[in-house]
């Protein structure tokens, strides 16, 4: 968390709320979240520049800066990017888990908080950003990802289909929640090897994955535990989850008890052994 729908929601929120605002001060409280740059250089290259545009790539939020740099924030499990009014009184970053805070020219603040500090913040020059983005796979909502291309992507691997879906180098943006959900909707067992998935099954999987992601974006993502949008709100897709977080409960499709294990990438996999084949 966040995955594609949550990162998309945050990016859209910030694009509408913070594009055009200039950074007048940067406070970095936990430099260990930085990747590829030191704290002093980070501050030097961000203060005085303007946010031009926010968008999403994979599970990261991208801020295009007027300097040409790209600010890439990957929240991971407990990170949140929040646009807020400046507090009337000083707030301790130790108690509110603030990692980074930008003071904006309109008096507001853009704050990155991360309870466990598993997320990352990177400031990339254009060439570095191009290299980073080049390591990512296609986006599942990109019309250029055809059924045939997706079938080749899936069927070329002997790994478990759930692992393939979550591999950002093969397809970017899908994480544990939506991999579990899409495989249940498609009736495919998560441990099936990619090469065993038929073309018809892969086409069905891509279709349901796109539907789920689109629906989740419309509902502003899934707030199962930590995720909040850029205004601190919760996502509403949690009410539509069919398997994730429901281990031990009856399958909504066939009534069998849902199973769970941690054999794939150490993440919880929830599935129905009766109707996912």
User: Could you report the per-residue pLDDT of 105-140, keeping only the tens digit for each?
Assistant: 999 999 999 998 999 999 999 999 999 999 999 999
Q: State the pLDDT at residue 89.
A: 58
Same domain, 45 and 167: no
Please, what is the average pLDDT of the chain?
95
Q: State the pLDDT at residue 94.
A: 65
What secondary structure letter does DSSP report for 236? Answer: B
Q: Are strands 267-271 and 259-264 parallel, antiparallel or unpaired?
A: antiparallel
Q: State yes or no: pLDDT of 269 exceeds 90.
A: yes
pLDDT tens-digit readout, 176-206: 999 999 999 999 999 999 999 999 999 999 9
Range of the domain at 155: 147-271
Q: State the pLDDT at residue 88.
A: 59
Q: State the pLDDT at residue 86.
A: 80
Domain boundary among 79, 103, 134: 134
Q: CA–CA distance from 246 to each of 77, 105, 181, 212, 225 (Å)?
A: 19, 45, 11, 17, 14
Sequence-ordered alpha helix ranges (H) in 97-175: 126-134, 147-155, 161-166
Q: In this structure, what token pair is assigned to residue 152?
A: 């080749």
| CA–CA–CA angle 105, 109, 110 (5° rounding) | 110
Q: State the pLDDT at residue 87.
A: 73
Does 277 reside within a domain?
no
CATH of the domain at 75: 3.20.190.10
Residue 74's nearest CA partner among 123, 109, 30, 26 is 123
Q: CA–CA distance from 199 to each of 21, 183, 202, 271 (Å)?
A: 48, 15, 5, 22
Write the DSSP string, 69-118: -EEEEE-TTTEEEEEEEPPSS---HHHHTEEEEEEETTSEEEEEEESS--
Q: State the pLDDT at residue 265.
A: 86
Q: How far apart are CA 249 and CA 234, in angstroms?
A: 24
Q: How much is the average pLDDT of 227-249?
A: 96
Which of 94 and 154 is assigned the larger pLDDT?
154
How many domains would you assign to the chain? 2
Q: In this structure, what token pair is assigned to residue 271?
A: 């599935």
Same domain, 151 and 119: no
Q: State the pLDDT at residue 225.
A: 81
- pLDDT band for 224, please (50, 70, 90 cuts): confident
Same domain, 114 and 226: no
Q: CA–CA distance from 237 to each of 76, 132, 173, 245, 257 (Å)?
A: 18, 30, 16, 13, 22
* Residues acting as catalytic residues: 2-3, 59, 267
Q: State the pLDDT at residue 92.
A: 66
Q: State yes or no: pLDDT of 8 exceeds 80.
A: yes
CATH of the domain at 169: 1.10.8.50
- pLDDT band for 95, please (50, 70, 90 cuts): low
CB 125 within 8 A of CB 52: no
Q: How far apart are CA 188 and CA 182, in angstroms?
A: 9
Q: How far apart are CA 145 and CA 141, in angstroms?
A: 8
């Amino acid at each position: 968390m966040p995955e594609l729908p949550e990162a998309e929601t945050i990016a859209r929120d910030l694009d509408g709320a913070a594009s055009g605002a200039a950074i007048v001060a940067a406070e970095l409280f936990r430099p260990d979240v930085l990747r590829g740059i030191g704290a002093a250089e980070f501050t030097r290259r961000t203060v005085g520049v303007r946010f031009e545009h926010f968008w999403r790539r994979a599970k990261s939020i991208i801020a295009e800066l007027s300097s040409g740099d790209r600010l890439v924030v990957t929240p991971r499990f407990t990170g949140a990017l929040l646009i807020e009014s400046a507090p009337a009184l000083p707030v301790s970053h130790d108690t509110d888990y603030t990692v980074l805070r930008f003071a904006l020219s309109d008096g507001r603040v853009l704050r990155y908080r991360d309870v466990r500090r598993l997320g990352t913040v990177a400031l990339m020059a254009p060439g570095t950003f191009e290299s980073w983005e080049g390591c990512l796979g296609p986006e599942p909502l990109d019309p250029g990802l055809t059924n045939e291309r997706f079938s080749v992507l899936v069927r070329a691997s002997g790994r478990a289909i759930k692992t393939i879906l979550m591999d950002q180098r093969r397809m970017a943006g899908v994480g544990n929640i939506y991999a579990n959900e899409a495989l249940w909707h498609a009736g495919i067992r998560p441990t099936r090897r990619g090469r065993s998935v038929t073309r018809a099954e892969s086409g069905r999987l891509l279709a349901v994955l796109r539907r789920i992601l689109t629906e989740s974006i419309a509902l502003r993502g899934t707030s199962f535990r930590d995720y909040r949008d850029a205004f601190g709100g919760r996502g509403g897709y949690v009410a539509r989850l069919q398997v994730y977080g429901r281990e031990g409960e009856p399958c909504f499709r066939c009534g069998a008890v849902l199973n769970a294990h941690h054999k794939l990438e150490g993440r919880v996999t929830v599935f129905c052994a009766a109707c996912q084949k």
